[in-house]
Amino acid sequence: MHRRRRTALLLTAAIAAAGPLLTACGNDAHPGAAAVVGDERITVSQLENRVKEVRAAQREAVPDEAQYEQAIARTGSLTRDTLHSMVLDRVLDHAAREAGVSVTPREVQRMRADMEDQAGGAEALERAWLQQYGIPPQRLEENLRLQLKAQKLAEKLGTDTSRPEFWKALSEAGKELGVDINPRYGTWDVNKSSRVDARTPWLRDVTSADTQQPT
């Protein structure tokens, strides 16, 4: 179980990671899309709804206004991090399918039960995932499925999720799919399978805007 725990922490933390190298991308050909991964569009409204889920969960978990503001400040880049997660999930899914890897609902339930035992119950696990990683309760199992998929893919490749071989597989999957991120949210470094901030001074800083969203 400890290995699963480390895997979950690694992959969830990677959502917020940013590499120093940029790849050229633009989204002019995809109006209304926050990103396009292969043939699948991630619309701006889908992204905004996901962000609202997190803010609503934070508000419910932290009714005190001052503490809520602190929670928002800690997740100031929530919109960009959420988009990273949504893109990475699709890239990982493609890599897993190519490798013949799948995850069953029973495996997800088993992992959740193990982690609930470690955390001290379902509510404690949901609270920890929300506070540490910005994952709302209704997305917890979806995130655990991501962690399991990554772990099984690494095992299939004979490596670990922290090793270059694993991230190379994700990089190749991203190249095969093609990842196009709206410049408003940055760019996608296909070599590192990571969203990075675009250094474009003429674009509005949406990170600071995230911190001012009431929900």
Q: Domain with 90 in it: what CATH number?
A: 1.10.4030
Query: Which structural domain, as residue segments, surrounds residue 159?
Result: 2-210
Q: Is 47 within a domain? A: yes
Q: Is 168 within a domain? A: yes
Q: Which residue has the higher pLDDT, 190 or 36?
A: 36
Determine the Cα–Cα distance for residues 26 and 47; give it in Å rounded to an integer: 17
The 10s digit of each residue's pLDDT in 105-129 is 999 999 999 999 999 999 999 999 9
Residue 186: per-residue pLDDT:
86
Range 38-62 average pLDDT: 93
Q: Is 26 within a domain? A: yes
Residue 67: per-residue pLDDT:
81
Residue 71 pLDDT greater than 80, yes or no? no
Residue 172 pLDDT greater than 80, yes or no? yes
Q: Is 199 within a domain? A: yes
Q: Is 76 within a domain? A: yes
Residue 29 pLDDT greater than 60, yes or no? no
User: DSSP states of the chain as a string?
Assistant: -HHHHHHHHHHHHHTT---S-------TTSTTEEEEETTEEEEHHHHHHHHHHHHHHHHHH--SHHHHHHHHHHTTTHHHHHHHHHHHHHHHHHHHHHTT----HHHHHHHHHHHHHHHTSHHHHHHHHHHHH---GGGHHHHHHHHHHHHHHHHHTTS-TTSHHHHHHHHHHHHHH-EEE-GGG-EEETTTTEEE----TTS--HHHHHTT---
Residue 182: per-residue pLDDT:
92
Q: Is 75 within a domain? A: yes
Indicate the pLDDT class of residue 215, thresholds 50, 70 and 90. Answer: very low
Indicate the pLDDT class of residue 200, thresholds 50, 70 and 90. Answer: very low
Residue 14: per-residue pLDDT:
52
Q: Is 215 within a domain? A: no
Look at the chain and report how many structural domains it folds into.
1
The lowest-confidence range among 43-52, 145-154, 183-192 is 183-192
Determine the Cα–Cα distance for residues 133 and 127; give it in Å rounded to an integer: 10
